[in-house]
Structure 1
Amino acid sequence: MSNEKRSSLDSIWESEDPVFADKELLDIEHIPDEERIIGREDEISNLANSIHPAIRGGKPRNTLIYGKTGTGKSLVAKHVTQSAENFAQDQGTRLDRAYIDCTQATTETQVVIKLARTFNQPDVTDISVPLSGLSTNAYYDRLWQILDSLHDVVIIILDEVDKLQENNVLMQLSRAGEAGKIDSCKVGILAISNKISFKDSLDERVLSSLQEREFIFPPYDANQLREIMRHRQDAFREGALTDDVIPLAAAFAAQEHGDARKALDILRNAGELAKDDDSDIVREEHVRNAREKADIDRFSKLLQDQPTQSKAAVYALSLIADGSKQEEFPTREIYERYERLTESLDIDPLSQRRMSDRLNEQAFLDILGVTDRVGRGRGKGMTNFYYLLEEPKVVQSAIESDQRFSPNK
């Protein structure tokens, strides 16, 4: 490396960020101090009361938490359980907690492996938890041994629990003590879902074993969103935000059902765009551009692990929706566009039925929407109509990050 390049890098490492003072405050994973958690005082209190027995070694109540994306469900669950763990230690209670993102760990086996590895201390238990190679029952056996060996109480947060491919894990965890799987450890479950209808998908055995409480988190209003962002504006350097930045970001997020997650995404992206412009001031135009970037980033994250055929089906839907006055489109119409797209991508097309299965999978993941209608033709069977949950251009920009796709397809 030349001296010139070395000195150039040194100047980057030594320089201070011109926009951000503590960008971590805007990270989704960051758990802020309680005074920064706005408009969720009742929810914090209710959840704390629900798990209160765990502080002194009792069994916490299983709890279902509902609410739209960005309403503070995960934040409150993490904050309350972190506080409970800290307080329990002062009481001499061995309380531990685990957070499972069910969009990543979607199967029963994946959840059990994640829990066992989170709760385990292999140098103490002498128990190994390999990432593969054991049956699901064998992983459960190791989990039960770990819990009884190390913990008085564990609290398990299952975020986006509706994304689990099966609900048996809920019954196994909630009935572990009753079924004699564990002797001394108590298990509490906090199941979080964006879908208030999730409970309807559970069979009676699971509902009976859960014996849960339910809390619904309402959307934030524009005033609360402004307060949330004002309580985190010290993520930026003093004077870095013009007066209209926070109100505008709050207004955009309020249009999206009071989504605080999106509000913080917009604010963080606006700061990044200002830096890209070599500006130390975040202005209104940065917020407007950041809104579109936040939409694309969110959609890209949803799609990042999806196979090419699924992306092709969604992309085909976006192409026919772009500029159309229609909002919903039947499988047949999407398939015609999908076939032409696969030809240009030089991939083998699926059958119409299999493509429809891929679209249904995307609807399950909230990447798009689907409705059923009675057909008008002979037989009058049910026909699926699919619709986008984002603007066509947002969908296309997100999918085009996959090099197989381009705007000319």
Structure 2
Amino acid sequence: MSANDDRDPLFRYDDPVFADERLLEITHLPGPDRIVGRDEQMQRVADALNPAIFGSEPNHLFIFGKTGTGKSLISRSVTKRVISEAERDNVTVKYAFIDCGEQNTEASIIKTIAQLVNEPGDSGVSIPDRGLGTGDYYKRLWQAVDRCTDVTIVILDEIDMLEDDEVLRKLSRAGENRRISNSSIGIIGISNKIDFPDHLSERVKSSLSRDELVFSPYDANQLVEILEKRQDAFHDGVLSDDVIPLTAALAAQEHGDARKAIDILRNAGRIAKKQNATRVTANHVRDAKEKTEADRFNELIEGSPQQAKAILYSLTLLTENSTQKEFPTKIIYNQYKEVARQLDFDVLSERRVQEILQEQNFLNVIQSEREGRGRGRGAHAKHRLLENPSIVKKVLLRDSRLAVLEETE
């Protein structure tokens, strides 16, 4: 009897579709030879970080662009190359990548940076997960940075989600304020909101001198090339000839989102495998597009209060049943009152509904704009979904409290 005969029959030990699915994961950082259409942007990021190779302070940099245009990928890739080059001259460069969508408070950001750069044997300090105040975390961060690195590069992804921008001022002025003396800190801020700097406090604007860089969307040809450089994630011959062009075309319709293109390709492979198909086809890609959109929207609203979901459902119903795409708060509120009644929810005030709509706008779940009514008549807000209403409804109805709405339609 071979060793394989002892394997549990409940599980599958071969993969007829994927050779290495990890190549399609969002966290995968491809080598420079797999990066497409971003030579100019890579050079600009490299120019900003170049001083770090010699142990000097890099230039701070803000990077803007829509989701899936390579902002985080290029920032991480170039930073890792800086670290490697600095090692040649015995210069220690470390970096901390922070997703501000998940960690947006001053204390959590400082703690995470400190934990990522700290070497307790060199710094003489530990960075506990809890139990310290923000000021104490800063003290330990400065010790860790000064004793463990020559340069620390802090990458703040979705920087517009910061709860308080004071962290930017303190990080950017750490050397000037003599918090650190043997090291330096460089900041890369990444956002899909090009007007983000306009909303910074005056204290931060005056202290944070930086370069700015805009990433344009990928076109369909670039998306094809990106996907072709990932197709070794699949076994040879598994992808039908039309799979990559179709995936690229679908993603190009969504402002050239490479991340979405890769997600669709991966989901197409998973769907094919689940169906025991020997090839990934165009039909798998179309099914994968819907799944990808639903998964993304689910991530956006995951953890949202049920009242917020009821308000989103109200906007969805209005969008489905009208040729309009934008609706004023008053109209949404009237629809929400009916939805809340069906769900047996307490009815919130119109003011609170307006606040929740603004919160969803901030989270990029919807888009809200203020529109003037004419001279002397003030202005009102209009709101629209950013996702296909059928996708929004499907995701919202996954919530057991809202599922009753499906029965009433």
Say yes or no: TM over 0.5: yes
- Whole-angstrom distance in 2 between the partners of 1:327 and 1:56: 54
> Which of the numbers 47, 57, 76 marks the counterpart of 2:45?
47
Per-residue deviation, residues 47-101 of structure 1 (Å, max 9, x unmatched): 1121011012111110111111110000000101111112222321111000000
- Whole-angstrom distance in 1 between the partners of 2:42 and 2:243: 29
Q: Partner residue of 1:132? A: 130
Q: Partner residue of 1:92? A: 90
Per-residue deviation, residues 116-154 of structure 1 (Å, max 9, x unmatched): 222223354342333333332222112111111211110
Q: Partner residue of 2:106? A: 108
- Whole-angstrom distance in 1 between the partners of 2:121 and 2:350: 53
Q: CA deviation at 1:337?
A: 2.0
Q: Partner residue of 1:309? A: 307
> Which of the numbers 216, 228, 231 marks the counterpart of 2:226?
228
SS in 1 for 2:63: strand
Q: Partner residue of 2:8? A: 10
SS in 1 for 2:186: strand
Alignment of 1:165-204 (within 5 A): 165-204=163-202
Partner letter of residue 52 of structure 1? N
SS in 2 for 1:64: strand
> Which of the numbers 370, 384, 388 marks the counterpart of 1:387?
384
Q: Partner residue of 1:3? A: none
Alignment of 1:15-94 (within 5 A): 15-94=13-92
- Whole-angstrom distance in 1 between the partners of 2:249 and 2:310: 33
Alignment of 1:270-309 (within 5 A): 270-309=268-307
The TM-score with structure 1 as length reference comes to 0.94
Alignment of 1:253-402 (within 5 A): 253-375=251-373, 380-402=377-399
Q: CA deviation at 1:8?
A: 10
Partner letter of residue 72 of structure 1? G
Cα 1:45–1:374, aligned 2, differ >3 Å: closer, same or farther? closer
SS in 2 for 1:157: strand
SS in 1 for 2:8: helix
- Whole-angstrom distance in 2 between the partners of 1:50 and 1:364: 29
The TM-score with structure 2 as length reference comes to 0.94
Q: CA deviation at 1:288?
A: 0.8
Per-residue deviation, residues 244-301 of structure 1 (Å, max 9, x unmatched): 0000000001111111011001101111111121102100111111111111111111
- Whole-angstrom distance in 2 between the partners of 1:148 and 1:185: 5
- Whole-angstrom distance in 2 between the partners of 1:305 and 1:83: 37
SS in 2 for 1:401: coil
- Whole-angstrom distance in 1 between the partners of 2:398 and 2:127: 36
- Whole-angstrom distance in 1 between the partners of 2:251 and 2:334: 36
Cα 1:94–1:400, aligned 2, differ >3 Å: closer, same or farther? same
Number of matched pairs? 403
Q: Partner residue of 1:408? A: 407
| Of 209-218 and 74-83, the range deviating more from structure 2 | 209-218
- Whole-angstrom distance in 2 between the partners of 1:8 and 1:303: 44
Cα 1:193–1:39, aligned 2, differ >3 Å: closer, same or farther? same
- Whole-angstrom distance in 1 between the partners of 2:93 and 2:281: 46
- Whole-angstrom distance in 2 between the partners of 1:251 and 1:137: 50
- Whole-angstrom distance in 1 between the partners of 2:110 and 2:372: 41
| Off by >6 Å, runs of 4+ in structure 1 | 6-9
- Whole-angstrom distance in 2 between the partners of 1:218 and 1:263: 16
Q: CA deviation at 1:325?
A: 0.5
- Whole-angstrom distance in 1 between the partners of 2:263 and 2:309: 24
Q: Partner residue of 2:160? A: 162
Q: CA deviation at 1:408?
A: 3.3
- Whole-angstrom distance in 1 between the partners of 2:122 and 2:89: 22
Note the residue ranges of structure 1 that are not aligned, 5 or more in a row: 1-5
Cα 1:350–1:122, aligned 2, differ >3 Å: closer, same or farther? farther
Q: CA deviation at 1:207?
A: 2.7
- Whole-angstrom distance in 1 between the partners of 2:7 and 2:320: 44
- Whole-angstrom distance in 2 between the partners of 1:379 and 1:195: 31
Note the residue ranges of structure 2 that are not aligned, 5 or more in a row: none
Give % identity: 46
SS in 2 for 1:10: coil
Alpha-carbon RMSD across the aligned residues, in angstroms, is: 1.9
- Whole-angstrom distance in 2 between the partners of 1:282 and 1:290: 11
